């Protein structure tokens, strides 16, 4: 029998592609969902779900939506690279409001972070989850901020979080980079379910990608929740292995195209930071 959380689950960003996939899969398993987004929900609403339009900058609205919830799946955000002013409200203020709601309710947070929080690491590197943040954009910077907010609220208030550094989550990968970063919808659903249903998670960070042999990412906290991906991008390698951008910045760094936007260096960013002793 499928496990069902004992309390309602709040899902932000419900009208986005990942929110819709999670809504369909988790509601079919019998979960009680409270859905919210700034945009209307485009699909037929499941019988065991409710939807409320709300802005992430509205802290009072989020407090109300979180009442009685045991888990907050925080997938709401400006989800692409945008100027800082457009990222500030939903991605910076919004994550603070989510954690205040979680603190008040004693709820767990599953935070949709991103590989763009570490995007300026080079593809020649293999990363553990405790690697340095090297955001590749204001979007990636906001995700690094969210991970730090999660750490603060765990250390100071005991709010549990699993931060999911999502790679590329679409039905199929579309270029060679995504042979390393792809996460299938089915693996995402299984991952979010385990994040919600695990007994204790503390503060955890997980590389959210499928079992891709070309992955740049290794050790993380997935054993805490008992999750392992079941799908792989390897089956697409034959058709995508040579599908490259031709841009040396994009091809050098793990963040791909986000690294190249407004890139003004004349050469590569150093692989290691310069640390001067005083």
139 is catalytic: yes
Closest CA to 146 of 216, 68, 198, 75: 75
Residue from 139, 145, 203, 253 carrying the catalytic annotation: 139
Residue 169 to residue 188: CA distance in whole angstroms: 8
Residue 154 to residue 115: CA distance in whole angstroms: 22
Spatial neighbors of 97 by CB under 8 A, at least 6 apart, are: 56, 57, 58, 59, 62, 63
Quick check: 78 and 92 in contact, CB under 8 A? no
Residue 186's Cα: distance from chain center in Å?
15
- Give the active site residues: 139
């Amino acid at each position: 029998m499928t496990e069902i959380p004992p309390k309602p689950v709040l899902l932000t960003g419900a009208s986005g592609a990942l929110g819709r996939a999670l809504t369909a899969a988790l509601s079919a398993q019998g979960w009680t969902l409270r859905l919210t987004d700034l945009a209307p929900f485009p699909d037929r609403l499941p019988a065991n779900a409710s939807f409320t339009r709300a802005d992430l900058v509205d802290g009072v609205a989020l407090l109300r939506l979180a009442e009685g919830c045991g888990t907050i799946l925080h997938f709401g955000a400006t989800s692409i690279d945008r100027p800082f002013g457009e990222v500030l409200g939903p991605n910076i203020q919004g994550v603070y409001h989510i954690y205040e709601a979680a603190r008040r309710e004693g709820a767990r947070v599953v935070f949709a972070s991103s590989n763009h929080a570490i995007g300026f690491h080079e593809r020649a590197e293999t990363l553990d989850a405790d690697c340095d943040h090297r955001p590749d954009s204001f979007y990636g910077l906001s995700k690094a901020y969210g991970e730090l907010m999660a750490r603060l609220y765990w250390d100071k208030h005991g709010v549990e979080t699993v931060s999911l550094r999502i790679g590329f989550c679409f039905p199929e990968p579309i270029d060679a980079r995504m042979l390393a970063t792809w996460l299938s919808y089915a693996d995402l659903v299984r991952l979010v379910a385990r994040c919600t249903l695990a007994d204790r998670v503390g503060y955890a960070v997980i590389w959210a990608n499928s079992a891709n042999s070309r992955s740049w990412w290794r050790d993380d906290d997935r054993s805490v929740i008992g999750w392992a991906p079941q799908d792989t991008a390897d089956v697409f390698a034959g058709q995508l292995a040579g599908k490259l951008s031709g841009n040396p910045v994009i091809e050098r760094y793990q963040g791909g195209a986000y690294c190249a936007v407004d890139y003004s260096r004349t050469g590569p960013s150093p692989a290691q930071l310069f640390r001067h002793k005083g």
